[in-house]
Structure 1
Amino acid sequence: MVFDTQLKLAREFSLPVIIHSRGAWQDCFQMTKDAGIEKAVFHWYSGPIEILDKIIENGYLVSCTPALEYSRELRSVIEKTPLERILVETDSPVRYKSQHPYNAEPKHVLKTLFCLAKLKNISIINAEEITTSNAKRFFNIKKSSS
């Protein structure tokens, strides 16, 4: 009920939606699609590839975090996701369970970029340019005229 109300508000005001859908991937996807949402990102998506395919087909995005370093599920998703459909983030202040556990901070978005570039076999600069362009498009950030 609450999610449905949020989706209606997002549609009414033409706002992008960031969805934490862990364990409710199909329901969240279907509700988002049925609500007519144009812009949605599925935060740290690590669900079934069949639903990922639907997310991509509908023009939605997924985000990745430094968990890309160790999460097989997240790596599998990101390997199959076109770069133009990926945002990077840290999910700060979560604690990551990597070989050397740490508490995420905003600066760790660079670790996410590094992992993404390595996985996609591209330069960090290329990963940064593409994901920054994705974020600007998603959040409707225009170039400053000054």
Structure 2
Amino acid sequence: MKVIDAHIHLDSYETKQRDEILNSLKENEVEALISVSMDLASCKKNLDFQLQSRQVFTAFGFHPEQEIPSEEETQALLKWIREHNDQMIAIGEVGLPYYRNQEQTLDYKPYIELLEKFIKLAYEVSKPIVLHAVYEDADIVCCLLEKYKIKKAHFHWFKGNKHTIKRMIENGYYISITPDVLYENEIQELVKIYPLNQLMVETDGPWPFEGPFKGAYTHPSFIHESVRKIAEIKDVELREVYKILYENTKGFYEV
């Protein structure tokens, strides 16, 4: 009963922890990691990890919860991604800075413009896109995805209202569930609503978790507990849930 971690920041781990993760994937029945990028330096690190391990697949992008890059930096990143298009499985992580905007009111226009560039690029190179977009930001993102007729969109660690959830389901977008499904009611309710054939599982490591994971560094093996909880919520046989989540991820990312 294998799993794939559909969203992890492998380059953000300390070297010792990263080595422990990579060396223990087989014994923990984790077939692959999809490591997303934060910026150009992060893209380059993730590409190195992919070249070193057949179990690592990379997505290239710019995480939105940080200061907007200069035009020169943006163009350098987009150019690098185009040059390495054959070595990535998706554009990501990209999106909008919801949490940063809660701390200080931001001018969203440059963030939306940057996101649109990445969505256009995903369309041009025919690759999936990995999105950081929650609550009202998700509606902005949906509009952009619809504008460019993007079908292969993966909203990681998604939260939103029922109207947005319905829109995303109808558009065929996927979401991935984090280990906080074991103790967060909001995530459990989302699992009840979202179709099993549009779900994946992730850790978003090295982001730490509470509940049974409190005090431990985030390891892809946590996903097995997430799968068990999803099976319980959906009232579907565990082996079947493993199979569906695994095939969803394999099919979406073509790995």
TM-score, structure 1 as length reference: 0.90
Alignment partner of 1:103: what SS? coil
**In 2, Cα distance between the equivalents of 1:17 and 1:100?**
29
Cα drift, residue 50 of structure 1: 0.9
Counterpart of 2:167 in structure 1: which amino acid? K
Counterpart of 1:10 in structure 2: which amino acid? A
**In 1, Cα distance between the equivalents of 2:251 and 2:152?**
10
Contact 1:89 1:109 in 2 (8 A): yes
**Deviates most, 25-34 or 130-139:** 25-34
Ranges in structure 1 where 5+ consecutive residues have no aligned partner: 142-146
Residue in structure 1 matched with residue 244 of structure 2 by the alignment: 130
Matched, 1:5 2:114: no
Alignment partner of 1:96: what SS? coil
Superposed counterparts of 1:56-71, under 5 Å:
56-71=169-184
Contact 1:42 1:62 in 2 (8 A): yes
Superposed counterparts of 1:1-146, under 5 Å:
1-23=113-135, 24-98=137-211, 101=214, 102-141=216-255
Ranges in structure 2 where 5+ consecutive residues have no aligned partner: 1-112
Counterpart of 2:175 in structure 1: which amino acid? V
Q: Which has the higher contact order (CA 8 A, sep 6+)?
A: 2
- Let me know the Cα RMSD of the aligned residues: 1.4
**In 2, Cα distance between the equivalents of 1:90 and 1:115?**
14
**In 2, Cα distance between the equivalents of 1:11 and 1:85?**
21
Q: Percent identity?
A: 27
Cα drift, residue 99 of structure 1: 5.6
Alignment partner of 1:18: what SS? strand
**In 1, Cα distance between the equivalents of 2:204 and 2:187?**
14
**In 1, Cα distance between the equivalents of 2:213 and 2:168?**
32
* Segments of 4+ moved more than 3 angstroms: none
Alignment partner of 1:73: what SS? helix
| Structure label with greater radius of gyration | 2
Alignment partner of 1:9: what SS? helix
Residue in structure 2 matched with residue 144 of structure 1 by the alignment: none
Counterpart of 2:154 in structure 1: which amino acid? V
Equivalent residues, number:
141
Counterpart of 1:137 in structure 2: which amino acid? G
Cα drift, residue 127 of structure 1: 0.9
Contact 1:47 1:73 in 2 (8 A): no
**In 2, Cα distance between the equivalents of 1:14 and 1:34?**
15
Cα drift, residue 70 of structure 1: 1.2
Counterpart of 1:7 in structure 2: which amino acid? I
**Deviates most, 91-100 or 8-17:** 91-100
**In 1, Cα distance between the equivalents of 2:125 and 2:151?**
11
**In 2, Cα distance between the equivalents of 1:100 and 1:7?**
35
Contact 1:39 1:138 in 2 (8 A): yes
TM-score, structure 2 as length reference: 0.53
Counterpart of 2:116 in structure 1: which amino acid? D
**In 2, Cα distance between the equivalents of 1:30 and 1:66?**
29
**In 1, Cα distance between the equivalents of 2:208 and 2:180?**
10
